[in-house]
Every structure is written in structure tokens, then in C-alpha cells.
Amino acid sequence: MTTSSTQYGPDAVFDNLIGGARVPSDDRSTNTNPSDPSDVIGRYARADAATVASAIDAARAAAPAWVDLGSQQRFAILDKAGSLIAERADELGDLLAREEGKQLAEAEGEVLRASQIFKFFAGETIRNTGEVVDSVRPGLMAEMTHEPIGVIGIITPWNFPIAIPAWKIAPALAFGNTIVFKPAELVPASAYALVDILAEAGLPDGVLNLVMGPGSVVGDALTTSAKVDAVTFTGSVAVGRSVIASAAAHQIRVQCEMGGKNPLVVLGDADLEPAAEAAINGAFFSTGQRCTASSRLIVTSDVHDEFVALLKEKMAALTVGDARAEGVAIGPVVSRTQLDQDLDYIAKARVEGGEVTGGELIDSDTEGYFLAPALVTGTKPGDTINVEEVFGPVASVIEVADYNEALAVANDTEFGLSAGIFTTSLKYSTHFKRYADAGMVMVNAPTAGVDYHVSFGGRKGSSYGPREQARAAREFFTVHKTTYTNAG
């Protein structure tokens, strides 16, 4: 297979990839374009439990040779994969936008980030350092090293269909693990293209196996197999908690990223223009479908009305439409199911007393899932719109008296992924960085957006297990070993 978009269409059939071979299935899902559901991208195999078991066996069989291949060879494969992804950024970006509905420039940016991630972890293959110390017992030398875990089950969401697989697959491979990869059922094309590129980069057969299909089948098979050593998952809180419980019951190491209800605080001393731009970016770009979205805008009373008026002015200038069309800022919601969920939350916000600006369906020449960004004002911290993750182009505004109330409201959530503040006060920005109960804190910047070379993760209900990305990834994808040598 190639990654050219001309290879996709209603007659295109894609199989699971196990041990370097295509594994067909009679059961297939039809992958469509959320900008135009009549546009079929392809028909993708759905794995059953037996297929997953064979993928796990293939990964275990490939593990010894992959570990013994050596860091320089792993470096070369990951580095080449990064180069191939960058070379095909236009093609992959177009595919991503067509499949997931992300606006084209954002889609291309995601592809380039995936390239950077593979390049970064190529370097980590030769930086997997340990530690050597003298033992407290004479004549002994102690060495502490990091070794691969073994077989990793990787379960990824639909909202970043290339970047999130990249930041799980790249470190898993860099540190010598083999993989069974299950992408979200809504976005199999991006996953297939990524696996295809890694094969072209020289990845040996069986090191990375792709099994597509529903989480209730494929995910369960991964998290209950005695032959899987670890599972890394990104997705909803409900599914994440079930993954944690299942993995714990089977003594499988687990890492979960499970969403957020991220606050962006705007104080009276803030520069409102960049604050509004950051709020628009964080709340509505990527159609609001990112776990770091600025879904709660917490604004002090002295600038509340001015800030809300500025937000509405900027919202009116946003163009919603086909993700690949010129001039479009926001693409469609990813699916009809997700669109219905967004509309339900908007309706509930009205019932609970919120005033909604926007949030209407947008007519188009296709049956695309187009929703105007929605801003809900006049809300209370305990309103449903401020408690539950919507995962759509919907933001709420909470008016507060001062910084102290803003911080309290910001932390009043079961989530703790990202938090932001706009202020020109060194006092308040310093205090917020220390006391915001989140894994990532932004000062005078959007809550969404983390560099590829820094760690990613949250607190409370947002995350479970070691951090993702950057050098922190080694803590999950390796196991520690201590050895002693008596030189005699």
C-alpha cells in the first residue's frame, strides 16, 4: 500500500497487518468523511479475539531479534520513518483532514509533529543511559539499567489519529519493545498509513502489528491477555477506568490519558486581545475535539463583559466548513454520534440557565456534521457544561470576583490535565503555576499545545501512570534492572 489519497475510495479494502502479512476479515467497517459522509475512504477489517491473539503471538515472536538488533539500527529505522512522514506531509495531512475532519493546516501540522516525534525518539535509542555506582560492599560494582518491557498494547483515540499513535509507537520501538496497535475505529486510514511507512522504513515483520476494530473486542483482548506486558491508552474516562481495572486484574502495566475540563483564567490586568485569541484557539480549533481544550473560561468581573464581547466578535469571523476547503478555520464534528452529544450539552446548558451564542447546525451542500462554535455565558461552576467534558466546539464562561475565586473554580474539577492564566502580574502567574492542580500550566498561552520534546500528562481523573512523550516516556516503556559484578 502507498499513502497516496488516490488509493482510497469505496472499493478500497484494507486488512489487519500481522507479522508483516495482510490478515483479511469478513467483518469490515466503512470509513467515511465527516465533511461529506457520502465520500467513502475505504473498508477496513475488524479483528476478532483470535486475530488479536495471533497479533500478540507475532509481537512476542519478533521481540528477541528486535531487542538484539541494537540501538544504531533502531535509530536508523525511526529516523527514516520521521523523514518519510515529513516528505508525505501533504498527502498524509489531506488524508487526516478527510478522515477525521481536522482543518487542513492543522492536519498537516499534526503530521509534521509526528515526524518530529519519530526523529526525537530516534535519538533516544542511543541515549538510553543507566547508572554505575560502587556498592557499599567492597569489591562489588552495581549497575542500574533500563530494558524493554516486552509486548505493548497501544490503544489510541480518533482526535489525533497520527500524532498520538506516533508518541506511543515511537518510544515503544526506541526502547526495544514490540507492539500490537489498535486505533480508534473512526480513523483506521491514518493508522494504516503510519504502519505502512514504518514498514517502508525497515521495521522488521512482527515488531508492529495493526489490529482494527471495536474496543469492546480488540481492546478487551489486549487488556486481558497474559502475553501482553503493558497497555497504553488514550480515550474517554469511562473506557480508561475499565482499562485500568482490567489491566490491574491481569497484572499488566498500564498508562492512561483520559481527558480534561481545562480552565483558562483571565484576570483584570490581562491583555485581552491575546487572551481572546488564546481562548478561541483553545476552545474551538480542532473543532474543540482535544483533551487540552479551553472548555471553561474563568473571567474576573472587571473585564468580563469586555472579554465576552471580544470573544463573540472573533467567533463571528470563524468559517466552519469542509476541512479541506480554502479559508475554513473549523472543520466538522467527527461523527453524527459526537455531533448529537454536542447538541445535547448545548441544550442542557440552556435548560440550566446559560445563554448560548452560536451552537447552531450549519447548512452545506453535503450532509457534513457542521456545528457553529458555541459560547455559553451566565453559567455557574456546578452546571453540567462546567463539569462534564463535551469534546466539541463548546466553551462556557464563569464570572468570578477575583484571583482567589478564579483559582478555586479552576481547581474545582475531577480533571487535572491543563490549566492557563492570562495576567501581567508576576505575583499571580507565579502563584498559579504553583497551585493550579493540573499536570500542565500555561501562562499567557493557550491551554492546548505542548511541544514534542516535553512530557505530557495530567493529574486526578485526567491521567493514570507515568507521563507520555519526551524523556519521561522511558519510565513507562522500560523496566529497571539492577546488576552486581564481583571483579574478584
Mean pLDDT of the chain: 96
Residue spans in the chain of domains classed CATH 3.40.605.10? 13-258+462-486
Catalytic residue IDs: 257, 291
For residue 449, the model assigns a pLDDT of 85
Please provide the DSSP assignment of 324-363 as one string. Answer: TSTT-SB---S-HHHHHHHHHHHHHHHHTTPEEEE--B--
pTM flag (> 0.85): yes
CA nearest to 66, candidates 177, 195, 199, 151:
177
**Which CATH superfamily does the domain covering 263-443 fall into?**
Aldehyde Dehydrogenase; Chain A, domain 2 (3.40.309.10)
H/E segment holding residue 430: helix 426-435
pLDDT in tens, 102-151: 999 999 999 999 999 999 999 999 999 999 999 999 889 999 999 999 99
What is the predicted pLDDT for the residue at 488? 72
DSSP 142-188: EEEEEEE-SEEEEE--SSSTTHHHHHHHHHHHHTT-EEEEE--TT-H
Q: What is the pLDDT of residues 251-268, one digit of tens each?
A: 999 999 999 999 999 999
Q: Are 27 and 85 in contact (CB under 8 A)?
A: no
- Would you call 206 helix, strand, or coil by DSSP? coil
For residue 4, what pLDDT is reported?
Answer: 39
The correct CATH number of 13-258+462-486 out of 3.50.50.60, 3.40.605.10, 3.60.10.10, 3.20.20.70 is 3.40.605.10
pLDDT in tens, 429-481: 999 999 999 999 999 999 998 899 999 999 999 999 999 999 999 999 999 99
Answer whether 281's CB lies under 8 Å from 446's CB. Answer: yes
pLDDT at residue 6, as a whole number: 46
Confidence grade of residue 1 (pLDDT, cut at 50, 70, 90): very low
Q: What local confidence, expressed as pLDDT, does residue 2 receive?
A: 38
Query: For residues 157 and 28, what is the distance between their CA atoms, to the nearest angstrom?
Result: 19
273: confidence class by pLDDT, cuts 50, 70, 90: very high
**13-14 and 178-182: which strand pairing?**
unpaired
Query: What mean pLDDT do residues 287-312 have?
Result: 97
Predicted confidence (pLDDT) at residue 5 exceeds the cutoff of 50 = no
Q: Is 424 or 488 the better-scoring residue by pLDDT? A: 424
Strands across the sheet with 16-18, in order? 21-23, 16-18, 208-210, 178-182, 151-155, 230-234, 253-257, 463-464
Q: What share of the chain is helix, strand, coil (3-state, %, to 5)?
A: 40, 25, 35
Q: What percent of the chain has pLDDT over 70?
A: 99
Q: Where in the chain is the domain with CATH 3.40.309.10?
A: 263-443
* pLDDT of 276 over the 80 cut: yes
Mean pLDDT of 77-106: 98
pLDDT tens column, 412-421: 999 999 999 9
What pLDDT, in 10s, does the model give residues 163-218? Answer: 999 999 999 999 999 999 999 999 999 999 999 999 999 999 999 999 999 999 99
Kindly indicate the confidence band of residue 161, based on its pLDDT and cuts at 50, 70 and 90. very high
Q: How do residues 316-359 score in pLDDT, each as one tens digit?
A: 999 999 999 999 999 999 999 999 999 999 999 999 999 999 99
